[in-house]
Amino acid sequence: MVIRTPTKICSDPSGAARGRTEFLARNSWLGILGSDFLGSLGREREALAAVIDRELPTSEAADLLDLVRDLVQRELAPRADKAEASGIFPREVFAQLGELGLLSLPYPERYGGGGQPAVVYLQVLEELARGWATVALGISVHVLACSGVAEFGTAEQQDRFLSEMLDGSTLGAYCLSEAHAGSDAGAMRTLAVRDGDEYVISGDKAWITHGPVADFYLLAARTGDDRSHGISTFLLPHGRPGLTAGTPERKMGFRGSVTSQVHLDRVRIGADRRIGYEGQGFRIALSALDAGRLGISACAVGLAQAALDAAAAYAAVRIAFRRSIDEFQGVSFLLADAATQIAAARQLYLYAARRKDAGKPFSTEAAMAKLIATDMAMKVTTDMVQVLGAAGYVEDHPVERYMREAKVLQIVEGTNQIQRMVIARSLKQAPRRLA
């Protein structure tokens, strides 16, 4: 990826390239891409297995998705297999994406964000997941870690912290879960004790994405005895004495995404870094998870689309009984079902996103989207391994990795059993018309 100053953008005779150049010039939050990148737009389109016909609110959003798609094709997808096999966290990739403004798309421009609606941000995530799910997941987690300050911070906290959190140079982690308090977040034991103008925090967090590499942590800790109203939220910078990360977990999938415990041994933090009022932490966590579930939904759809792309391409050239195997119903129906399920899941997460953008309640719809999209991704990736047969079971083809990665999406940001609980509880509340 080549990053240039605005004076380095070259002209291009095609209207499409001129439009993209103008888009970049107008939107400093996205950064400036080099002439070699811009000149290649459109020429590698044929290398993509499928270009999704997307519904986007503006022509600028369409330009953004075009840029992301080409970025994925040129820079991310070719590196994914080797990087995931090595298990090395691609920090330099996040730094490059940060320079392009892709780590802060849904946040206000006044703080350095992209000012993009959820329907655009989530489709960017989907395209990224299609090429390298670790990167899309990492961006989703970072965006979630910024949400506490953006949504519940005071004006002073937003002015003080958000610009650095959103400028692309830092990476966040979200610390809610503990070994004994995953789905039951109210059982957390990490304790924050007030000591004058500070809090002293002690405890252990588990399953923390970016644990060893984060620059800041949005952390929930107990400040009172009440299960839900006794939890508060804090913004902790990396390097604070007593704050350490454990050994990275050895995971089934997403091996390029580093996950660990985070240990807090009498970590002192100023009361000015408490986000929201004392006891508001559970509400902040639930709000963050609603948005985070949409991010996971988009990642799941992108991952499933990648699996379908790979399987469809393989089935078109694999010959059996003197015909390509996609001519057999047993294979073509698997591909058709996958395409249908992916399209349905995409529309559900976009429906929830439109509600969010309109300021309507979307918690139930986010749970529905996360449930449907991640269950779909698990089924589709498994079926696409079946399309490849024995070839799908070996690392020569990426579908086995997609299947391993899909599994955890049914677990993170609330297991799918928790999503069903959220949905079932909503049915007992006063009915509201779906619109």
Question: What's the domain count of the chain?
Answer: 3
3-state secondary structure of 275: strand
Q: Coil, helix or strand for 34?
A: coil
Average confidence (pLDDT) over 166-172: 96
- Final residue before a domain boundary, out of 281, 310, 336: 281
Q: Which tens digit of pLDDT belongs to each residue from 198-233?
A: 999 999 999 999 999 999 999 999 999 999 899 999
Please report the pLDDT score of residue 8 as a whole number.
Answer: 25
Residue range 76-80: mean pLDDT, rounded: 96
- Tell whether the model's pLDDT for residue 20 goes beyond 90: no
What pLDDT, on a 0 to 100 scale, did the predictor assign at position 180?
Answer: 94
> Which two three-digit tokens encode residue 79?
């590196």
Predicted TM-score (pTM) above 0.75: yes
User: Are 222 and 304 in a shared domain?
Assistant: no
Give a yes or no: residue 435 inside a domain. Answer: no
Query: Considering 84, 365, 405, 413, which one is annotated as catalytic?
Result: 413
Residue 378 lies in a domain: yes
pLDDT of residue 96: 94
Same domain, 118 and 47: yes
Q: Name the residue range of residue 149's domain.
A: 15-166
Q: What mean pLDDT is reported for the chain?
A: 89
7 in any annotated domain: no
The model's confidence at residue 253, banded by pLDDT at 50, 70 and 90, is very high
What pLDDT is recorded for position 429?
Answer: 84
Tell how strand 243-245 and strand 231-237 pair up. unpaired
272 with 313, same domain: the answer is no
Element of type H or E holding 103: none
- pLDDT tens column, 106-152: 999 999 999 999 999 999 999 999 999 999 999 999 999 999 999 99
Q: Considering the domain boundaries, does residue 211 fall inside one?
A: yes
Question: pLDDT band at 433, cuts 50/70/90?
Answer: low
Residue 1 lies inside a defined structural domain of this protein = no
**Residue 433: inside a domain:** no
**Bridge partner residues of 323 (DSSP):** 320
pLDDT digits 0-9 by tens, 278-327: 999 999 999 999 999 999 999 999 999 999 999 999 999 999 999 999 99
Same domain, 339 and 421: yes
Q: Are residues 104 and 229 in the same domain?
A: no
CATH code (residue 45): 1.10.540.10
Distance CA 16, CA 25 (A): 14
- Same structural domain for residues 193 and 130? no
Average pLDDT estimate for 376-400: 97
Structure tokens, 110: 């006044």
Stretch 355-379: mean pLDDT: 98
pLDDT at res. 51 = 85
Contacts of 169 (CB under 8 A, 6+ apart): 95, 98
Instruction: State mean pLDDT over 318-337.
Output: 97
**What is the domain-level CATH number for residue 193?**
2.40.110.10
Residues 277 and 294 in one domain: no
Which run of H or E residues covers position 179? none
Grouping H, G, I as helix, E, B as strand and the rest as coil, residue 247 is coil
Residues 231 and 263 in one domain: yes
Query: Do 140 and 186 reside in the same domain of the chain?
Result: no
Examine the fold and report which residue of 281, 297, 312 is the final residue of a domain before the chain moves on: 281
Look-up: residue for tokens 């078109």? 316
Secondary structure class of 267 (helix, strand, coil): strand
- Boundary residue ending a domain (259, 281, 303): 281
pLDDT of residue 257: 98
Does residue 405 carry a catalytic annotation? no
Provide DSSP, 194-244. EETTEEEEEEEEEEEETTTT-SEEEEEEE-SSSTTTTEEEEEEETT-TTEE
| pLDDT tens per residue, range 176-201 | 999 999 899 889 999 999 999 999 99
Residues 176 and 294 in one domain: no
Question: What does the block give as tokens for 71?
Answer: 């970025």
Looking at the chain, the whole-number percentage of residues with pLDDT higher than 90 is 85
* Inter-residue contact 160 to 150 (CB < 8 Å): no
Counts for the chain of helices (H) and strands (E), in that order: 14, 10
Give a yes or no: residue 420 inside a domain.
yes
Query: In this structure, are 185 and 73 located in the same domain?
Result: no
Query: pLDDT tens digits, residue range 36-75?
Result: 333 333 333 333 457 899 999 999 999 999 999 999 999 9
Examine the domain organization and report whether 77 and 20 are in the same domain. yes
- Which of 315, 365, 364, 312 is CA-nearest to residue 338? 312
